[in-house]
């Protein structure tokens, strides 16, 4: 790390984070029922050890509110010395997990569970610390705290209540003050003000107690005399919660800056090492903390030096300013914790969980954490999340649509044996002998569902009905009539989606006679009405007021050329002109093409004009070999392409992607594109717009067989594969 960066950015940022971390660390120790000094030890170790060894450059570690509930239960069960040993073991487990490179697996936990866990912890903290704010003591559980709260409110503890409410008031008002004022951390101001008021008025309140000499710390951990299973469960619980919170915090912090991304496995190793040291010195468990980390980024930190230095400042303050810290009333720290706990119930998170349909997982996790315990609540949330995931995986939407004499059975999702009863019930509603369209949009079709569909189809057709199967995606039921078993997924044998290929097998049958061609068109229109219209209606409603295309696209009338498809365009993007051979008559004798050009350039103000030729062009073949007999109109039209033929005879061949096309007609098609661009420039309205820099002309060629688009690149005088053009052309295209 550069010294100049540390001096200019990291030292100021570390001081800001230090001011935020001290009151929070003291408050979290208080809420956990641990010695107050344990919070400072964890903050120091988290800053120095996790900051130096972790994989997240900007993350700041220390004691976190997310572990207060489980830690309080652990201290009550085992005592402080054994809890420190549990912290050491939990840290060792984190190091093993980091070395195993499984850190990212923690991110598989549903956000609804994580947010629910934090909200449950927040509610538990608030219920407990409200008693301290009101001058009493927290009870043994969240439920007991809730039941005892009315009696605590009735009690009369004016001094503690005044200090706690003053702290809360400052914290609530601080974010609304001017930015210049908010440069000083709100928690620091609240604690300093509350402490000053308590000292000035001589209030007799319980205050922070620190050991006489913080540097004289003995090794605290002690192994239990029994109950090893409970000991192991506590260590695993703390390791998992600390790991998940640290990893999620690291990912969140990465979104706040543009520096190096977090190495999550290294971060887990760093957190584990910090917990081993913290537990050995008598400190609380350490995790990555989003509040301090986001403050670190906002304060301008650039390297991990900021996190390390913030730990150093806490050590200096604890040694040199212990007397000031011991003046802090516990009611002020409790007020800070009530504020922090309430912030853990995040309304934005609740809205996001609701949008994704996981609100029930969130609520169940919250209730489990508050009424039972943290581990049980999280496990219940995980179980419910897995159950909902399983339901969504096996869910299938099955319904019948009736249109006159025709029936449509639509099946979506995964169709398995679990859906067979409902499938049979729905299929039974289709009248015997009816004309049925069976539309399958399924992700998976197992043998039980396959057999049910196949048996029903056979029986329905034996009764005089018809069943036409249409599949979007993988053809799971393609051989359903023959009762062939479900085939495995094969990417080379997938049905083409309707929206991509309206000319594909779903619509047209090989044996359809000519008089029934209009039926295929009607089916396509019905398909658009049913599936596509709802998706594009919003866009089309905005286009109803007028069109603003960016491109005039002149191409051949060949049915294989779909301009929107090969340019990834949509409604309103292209003003398309199609004719035989993508021609632009130089002699202004064809008003249809000329008027389209004038309207597009002069009225619609398009920014580019593209002429697109293609391989296998019938017009180019007719130009070389002569048009079929008895087609005078075609012969007359092709006179506009004769300059292209002359151009090819008078100039060198045009290169296509480093080579030459094999067919003579394709070679001519390349010259034809360039010739039509020259014809375009003979239109005054085009020439003037191009001269003003308001219009770009571009040549394009589409290889039908390879489904490949090429653009003419003037600097290299050849057609190049789209995306591989020269820098100069790339700039022009942008």
In CATH, the number for domain 395-495 is: 3.30.750.24
Domain ranges of the chain: 3-371, 395-495, 549-733
User: What pLDDT shows up at residue 412?
Assistant: 84
Residue 592 has a CB neighbour count (10 Å cut-off) of 9
Active-site annotation holds for 640: no
The mean of the pLDDT values for the chain is 85
Tell me the β-bridge partners of 612: 555, 700
Per-residue pLDDT, averaged over 122-131, amounts to: 86
pLDDT of residue 117: 81
Six-digit token string for 421: 């009863």
The string of DSSP codes covering 718-733 is EEEETT---HHHHHHH
Which whole number is the average pLDDT over 599-613? 96
Look at residue 491 and tell me whether its pLDDT is greater than 60.
no
Q: Catalytic one among 10, 254, 373, 558?
A: 558
The per-residue pLDDT for range 13-35, each reduced to its tens digit, is: 888 788 778 888 888 898 888 99
Between residues 675 and 513, the one the model is more confident about: 675
Contact criterion met (CB below 8 Å) for 440 and 476:
yes
Percent pLDDT > 90 in the chain is 43
For residue range 449-463, list pLDDT tens digits in order.
Answer: 899 999 999 999 999
Give the span between the Cα atoms of 252 and 437, in whole angstroms.
Answer: 49
Task: Extract the tokens encoding 709.
Answer: 């688009």
pLDDT value at position 392? 73
| 10 pLDDT more than 50 | yes
Angstrom distance (rounded) from CA 629 to CA 263: 73
d(CA 535, CA 696) in angstroms, rounded, equals 32
pLDDT at 508: 46
Structure tokens at 8: 């200019």
Q: What is the mean pLDDT of residues 3-13?
A: 73
Q: What is the pLDDT of residue 685?
A: 95
CATH superfamily of 549-733: Carbonic anhydrase (3.40.1050.10)
Of 580, 611, 581, the residue nearest 700 (C-alpha): 611
556 in catalytic set: yes
Output phi, psi for 519, to 5 deg: -65, -40
Residues comprising the chain, all counted: 734
Among 219-233, 403-417, 630-644, the range with the most confident prediction by mean pLDDT is 630-644
Residue linked to tokens 């609701």: 354
Measured over the CA atoms of residue 142, residue 146, residue 152 and residue 157, the dihedral's sign is positive
Interacting residues of 86 by C-beta distance below 8 A, sequence separation 6+: 74, 78, 231, 234, 235, 238, 279
pTM: 0.59
The rounded distance, in Å, linking the Cα atoms of 245 and 231 is 21
The C-alpha atoms of residue 207 and residue 621 are separated, in whole angstroms, by 96
Average pLDDT over residues 56-81: 90
* Residue 617 bears catalytic tag: yes
84 classed as catalytic: no
Higher pLDDT, 109 or 580: 580
Task: Characterize 191-209 residue by residue with b for buried, 16 or more Cβ atoms within 10 angstroms of its Cβ, and e for exposed.
Answer: bbbbbebbeeeebebebbe
Alpha-carbon radius of gyration of the chain:
37
Q: Which residues contact 584 (CB under 8 A, 6 or more apart)?
A: 554, 593, 597, 611, 640, 676, 679, 680
pLDDT score at 512: 39
Q: What is the pLDDT at residue 492?
A: 42
pLDDT, average across residues 485-491: 54
Among 80-84, 552-556, 584-588, where is mean pLDDT lowest?
584-588
For 273-316, write each residue's pLDDT tens digit: 999 999 999 999 999 987 788 778 877 788 899 999 999 999 99
Instruction: Compute the average pLDDT of residues 217-235.
Output: 85
163-176 per-position pLDDT tens digit: 989 999 999 999 89
Active-site choice (115, 408, 614, 679): 614
Q: How far apart are CA 29 and CA 631, in angstroms?
A: 94
What secondary structure, in 3-state letters, does 185-242 show? CHHHHHHHHHHHHHHHCCCCCCECCCCCCCCCCCCCCCCCCCCHHHHHHHHHHHHHHH
Closest CA to 600 of 561, 548, 652: 548
Question: Who wins on pLDDT, 706 or 152?
Answer: 706
User: Active-site residue among 556, 666, 679, 713?
Assistant: 556
Higher pLDDT pick, 127 / 508: 127
Q: Which has the higher per-residue pLDDT, 586 or 109?
A: 586
User: How many CB atoms within 10 Å of residue 143?
Assistant: 14
Whether residue 612 lies in the annotated active site: no
Say which residue, 487 or 331, is predicted with more confidence: 331
Catalytic residue among 8, 351, 560, 588: 560
Tokens of 576: 């398309």
For tokens 């009530």, name the residue: 338
* Farthest-apart Cα atoms in the chain, separation: 113
Whether 530 shows a pLDDT value over 90: the answer reads no
- Give the model confidence (pLDDT) of 360-415 as tens digits: 999 999 999 888 877 788 889 989 998 888 777 767 788 888 877 789 898 888 88
* Nearest residue to 74 via CA among 227, 204, 180, 218: 227
Three-class SS of residue 598? helix
302/292 Cα distance (integer angstroms): 15
In the predicted model, what is the mean pLDDT of residues 602-607? 95
Question: What are 190-214's pLDDT values in tens digits?
Answer: 889 999 999 998 888 888 877 666 5
Between 730 and 650, name the one with better pLDDT. Answer: 650
98's enclosing H/E stretch is: helix 80-99
Residue 251's pLDDT is 81
> 110 or 677, which is more confident?
677
Catalytic residue, candidates 373, 612, 617, 648? 617
Tokens 């006159």 map to which residue?
404
């Amino acid at each position: 790390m550069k010294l100049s960066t540390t001096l200019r950015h990291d030292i100021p940022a570390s001081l800001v984070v230090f001011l935020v971390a001290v009151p929070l660390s003291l408050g979290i120790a208080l809420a956990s029922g641990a010695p107050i000094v344990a919070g400072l030890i964890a903050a120091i170790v988290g800053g120095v050890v996790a900051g130096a060894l972790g994989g997240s450059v900007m993350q700041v570690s220390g004691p976190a509110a997310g572990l207060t509930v489980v830690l309080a239960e652990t201290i009550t069960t085992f005592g402080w010395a054994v809890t420190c040993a549990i912290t050491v073991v939990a840290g060792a487990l984190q190091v093993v997990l980091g070395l195993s490179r499984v850190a990212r697996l923690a991110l598989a936990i549903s956000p609804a569970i994580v947010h629910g866990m934090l909200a449950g912890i927040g509610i538990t903290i608030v219920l407990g610390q409200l008693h301290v704010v009101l001058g009493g003591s927290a009870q043994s559980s969240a439920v007991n705290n809730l039941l005892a709260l009315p009696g605590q409110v009735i009690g009369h503890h004016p001094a503690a209540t005044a200090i706690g409410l003053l702290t809360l008031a400052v914290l609530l008002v601080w974010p609304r003050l001017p930015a210049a004022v908010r440069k000083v951390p709100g928690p620091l101001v609240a604690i300093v003000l509350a402490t000053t008021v308590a000292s000035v008025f001589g209030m007799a309140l319980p205050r922070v107690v620190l050991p006489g000499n913080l540097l004289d710390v003995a090794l605290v951990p002690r192994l239990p005399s029994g109950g090893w299973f409970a000991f192991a469960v506590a260590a695993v619980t703390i390791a998992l919660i600390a790991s998940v919170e640290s990893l999620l915090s690291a990912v969140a912090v990465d979104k706040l800056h543009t520096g190096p991304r977090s190495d999550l496995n290294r971060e887990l190793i760093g957190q584990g090492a910090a917990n081993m040291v913290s537990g050995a010195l008598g400190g609380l468990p350490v995790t990555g903390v989003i509040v301090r980390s986001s403050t670190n980024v906002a304060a301008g930190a650039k390297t991990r030096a900021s996190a390390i230095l913030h730990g150093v400042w806490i050590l200096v303050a604890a040694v040199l300013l212990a007397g000031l810290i011991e003046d802090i009333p516990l009611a002020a720290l409790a007020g800070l914790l009530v504020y922090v706990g309430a912030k853990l119930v995040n309304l934005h998170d609740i809205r996001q969980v609701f949008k994704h349909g996981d609100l029930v997982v969130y609520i169940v996790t919250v209730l489990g954490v508050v009424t039972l315990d943290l581990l049980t609540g999280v496990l219940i949330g995980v179980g419910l999340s897995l159950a909902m995931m399983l339901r969504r995986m096996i869910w299938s939407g099955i319904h019948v649509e009736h249109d006159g004499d025709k029936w449509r059975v639509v099946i979506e999702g995964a169709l398995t044996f679990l859906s067979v009863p409902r499938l049979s019930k729905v299929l039974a509603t289709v009248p015997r002998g009816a004309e049925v369209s069976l539309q399958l949009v399924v992700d998976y079709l197992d043998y039980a569902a396959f057999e049910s569909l196949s048996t029903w189809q056979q029986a329905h057709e034996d009764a005089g009905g018809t069943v036409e199967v249409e599949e979007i995606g993988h053809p799971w039921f393609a051989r359903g009539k023959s009762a062939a078993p479900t085939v495995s997924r094969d990417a080379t044998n997938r049905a083409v989606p309707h929206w991509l290929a309206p000319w594909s097998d779903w619509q047209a049958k090989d044996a359809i006679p000519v008089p029934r061609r209009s039926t295929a068109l009607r089916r396509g229109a019905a398909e658009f009405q049913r599936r596509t219209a709802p998706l594009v209606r919003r866009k089309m409603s905005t286009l109803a007021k007028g069109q603003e295309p960016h491109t005039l696209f002149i191409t051949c009338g060949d049915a294989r050329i779909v301009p929107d498809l090969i340019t990834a365009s949509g409604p309103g993007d292209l003003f398309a002109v199609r004719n035989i051979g993508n021609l632009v008559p130089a002699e202004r004798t064809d008003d249809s093409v000329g008027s389209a050009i004038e309207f597009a350039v002069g009225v619609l103000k398009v920014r580019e004009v593209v002429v697109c030729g293609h391989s296998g062009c019938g017009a180019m073949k007719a130009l070389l070999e002569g048009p079929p007999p008895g087609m005078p109109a075609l012969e007359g039209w092709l006179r506009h392409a004769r300059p292209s033929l002359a151009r090819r005879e008078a100039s060198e061949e045009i290169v296509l992607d480093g080579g030459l096309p094999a067919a003579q007609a394709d070679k001519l098609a390349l010259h034809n594109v360039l010739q039509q661009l020259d014809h375009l420039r003979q239109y005054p309205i085009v020439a003037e717009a191009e001269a003003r820099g308001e219009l770009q002309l571009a040549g394009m060629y589409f290889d039908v067989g390879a489904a490949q688009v090429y653009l003419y690149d003037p600097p290299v005088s050849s057609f190049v594969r789209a995306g591989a053009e020269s820098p100069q052309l790339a700039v022009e295209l942008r």
